[in-house]
């Protein structure tokens, strides 16, 4: 694990909540990619909430990893949403136009409730 960066996946209402802490940048990109892949693989179809409460900085490498994870979740028939997004990161999402790609919620509970329910055959 990269120094100053940590993550944990916890189940919540049939979803995987990936809580991140530290900076999402070039130095942590590989670890971010790894933990995103684990979160996506932990539910079928993927139902992932990325809790960014502990993240106050995100550069283009971090945005790229978030976007790749969103694409991976959607490609597998699932969804990935963000919650507790720091105002600085919200501003970056707005400036880059990624606010139109990512759904963001104030709390984990709201984010989990907003995820589509898996289809049961």
For residue 95, being part of any structural domain is answered with yes
Predicted local distance difference test score (pLDDT) of residue 2? 60
Predicted local distance difference test score (pLDDT) of residue 51? 99
The total of structural domains in the chain comes to: 1
Residue range 73-93, pLDDT digits in tens: 999 999 999 999 999 999 999
Q: Contact, 12 vs 112, CB < 8 A?
A: yes
For residue 99, being part of any structural domain is answered with yes
Predicted local distance difference test score (pLDDT) of residue 117? 87
Axis-axis angle for helices 60-75, 29-41 (nearest 10): 20
For residue 89, being part of any structural domain is answered with yes
For residue 27, being part of any structural domain is answered with yes
Predicted local distance difference test score (pLDDT) of residue 1? 56
- Give residue 86's domain range: 14-38+46-105
Calpha distance 111→10 (Å, rounded): 14
| Residue 85, token pair as written in the block | 């997004």
For residue 30, being part of any structural domain is answered with yes
For residue 113, being part of any structural domain is answered with no
C-alpha distances (whole Å) from 67 to each of 3, 61, 109, 114 are: 23, 10, 22, 19
Predicted local distance difference test score (pLDDT) of residue 4? 84
Predicted local distance difference test score (pLDDT) of residue 77? 95
Please name the residue that has the structure tokens 């942590």: 28
Ranges of the chain with pLDDT below 70: 1-3, 119-121
Predicted local distance difference test score (pLDDT) of residue 28? 97
CATH of the domain at 31: 3.30.750.24
């Amino acid at each position: 694990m990269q120094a100053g960066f940590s993550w944990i996946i916890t189940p919540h209402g049939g979803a995987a909540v990936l809580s991140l802490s530290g900076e999402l940048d070039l130095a942590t990109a590989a670890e971010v990619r790894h933990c995103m892949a684990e979160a996506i693989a932990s539910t079928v179809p993927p139902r992932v909430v990325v809790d960014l409460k502990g993240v106050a900085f995100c550069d283009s490498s971090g945005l790229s990893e978030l976007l790749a994870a969103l694409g991976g979740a959607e490609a597998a028939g699932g969804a990935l949403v963000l919650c507790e997004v720091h105002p600085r990161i919200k501003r970056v999402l707005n400036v880059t136009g990624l606010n139109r790609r990512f759904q963001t919620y104030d709390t984990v509970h709201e984010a989990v409730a907003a995820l589509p329910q898996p289809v049961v055959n």
